[in-house]
């Protein structure tokens, strides 16, 4: 995983290197998010949102990000999951963020 950290509007995010993504795709190292209880690979935000809701995550609408991100929070913790609004930009950094906050429910696999 390579890229550049970008700080914009008080938010730091990793912008993945597009050339390394192309190289990873060519070598078969694309990543996918696996929902371990069902064995299903997450292929859309609708699917992901259902799985997160079952784990107690709720959509958070107070982010002040101008609508460029989807955010989820749990009432029982201070954790926040931030995802790009466009699923095409959903990358390994976002997948690992979900895995870290839901260790028993998700895994990142080679697609």
Splitting the chain (111 residues) into consecutive groups of 10 residues, what average pLDDT does each group show? 76 71 57 96 96 95 74 92 93 96 95 83
Cα Rg of the chain, angstroms: 14
Q: Which residues contact 56 (CB under 8 A, 6 or more apart)?
A: 74, 75, 76
Residue with tokens 């609004």, as numbered in its chain = 85
pTM over 0.75: no
pLDDT, residue 100, reads: 96
Q: What is the pLDDT of residue 17?
A: 66
pLDDT for position 28: 57
| Domain ranges, residue 42 | 3-110
Overall domain count for the chain: 1
pLDDT at 4: 79
- For residue 1, what pLDDT is reported? 57
């Amino acid at each position: 995983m390579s890229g550049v950290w970008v700080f914009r509007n008080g938010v730091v995010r990793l912008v993945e290197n597009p050339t390394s993504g192309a190289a990873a795709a060519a070598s078969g190292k694309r990543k996918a998010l696996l929902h371990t209880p069902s064995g299903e690979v997450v292929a859309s935000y609708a699917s992901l949102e259902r799985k997160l809701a079952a784990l107690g995550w709720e959509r958070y609408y107070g982010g002040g990000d101008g609508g460029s991100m989807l955010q989820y929070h749990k009432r029982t913790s201070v954790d926040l999951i931030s995802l790009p609004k466009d699923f095409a930009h959903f990358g390994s950094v976002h997948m690992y963020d979900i895995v870290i906050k839901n260790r028993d429910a998700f895994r990142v696999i080679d697609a």
